[in-house]
Structure 1
Amino acid sequence: MILEAAMLNVKSGLENEFESAFKQASKIISSMNGYISHQLQRCLETQGKYLLLVQWTDLESHTVGFRQSAEYQEWKRLLHHFYEPFPVVEHFEHVSL
C-alpha cells in the first residue's frame, strides 16, 4: 500500500466552495483502479490549509492510472484553480517496526 500526501493551501475565501467541489471530486478518485481510501483534513490553526491523504494499492495506480486518465482531467477542472501555491504531492510506504 502507498500513501499519497498533499498539503493543500486554498485561496482565501474559497474554502466552502473548495469543500463542495472536493465532495464532487471524491466520486472521481474513489472510482479509480488501485484506489483504497482517502480523507481530507482541515487544519485548525491555519485557515484554508488542508491535508489530503489517499491510499493506493501501488504507486503506479496514482502516477499512471489516475494521473494519465480522462477522469484526472475532470479532477483538475474541479480543484486545481483553488490552490495557491500549487501543492507538492509525495508518496509514502509503511515502515514495519
Structure 2
Amino acid sequence: MIRELAHIVVKPGAQAGFEAAVHEALALFKRVKGCRHVELHHGIEKPEEYLLVVHWETLEDHVEGFRKSPAFQEWRGMVGGFFAQAPDVVHANVVIE
C-alpha cells in the first residue's frame, strides 16, 4: 500500500466550495481500481492549505489507473478551479504507523 500525498493550496475564501467538491468527488476515487481510502486534511495555521491523502494498493493504480482515466479529468474539472497553484504531489510508503 502506498500513499499519495497532495499538498493543495486553494484561492482565498474558496475553502467551503473546495471541500464540497472533494466530498462530491469521493465517488470518483471509489470507482478506481486500487483506491482504498481518501482523507482531506485542512491546515490550521494556513487555512488555504490542504493535504489530500489517498491510499492506493500500488503506485501504478494511481499513476496509470487513475491519472490516465476519465475519472481524473472529472476530478480536475470539479476541483481545479479552486486551486491557487498546481498541487504538489508525492508518493510514500508507510514505514511506521
Report the TM-score when normalising by structure 1.
Answer: 0.93
After TM superposition, give the deviation of residue 93 of structure 1 in Å.
1.1
1:33 has 2:72 as partner: no
Taking the TM superposition and a 5 Å limit, the aligned residue runs for 1:1-97 are 1-95=1-95
RMSD of the alignment, in Å?
1.1
Could you tell me which amino acid in structure 2 is paired with residue 40 of structure 1? L
After TM superposition, give the deviation of residue 94 of structure 1 in Å.
2.5
| Percent of aligned positions that are identical | 35
| Per-residue deviation, residues 1-41 of structure 1 (Å, max 9, x unmatched) | 11100111010011111111111111111221001101001
Could you tell me which amino acid in structure 2 is paired with residue 26 of structure 1? L
Structure 2: gaps of 5 or more residues: none
| Per-residue deviation, residues 57-84 of structure 1 (Å, max 9, x unmatched) | 0000000100100111111100112111
Could you tell me which amino acid in structure 2 is paired with residue 95 of structure 1? V
Q: Secondary structure at the match of 2:31?
A: coil
Q: In structure 2, what is the Cα distance between the partners aligned to 1:30 and 1:10?
A: 23
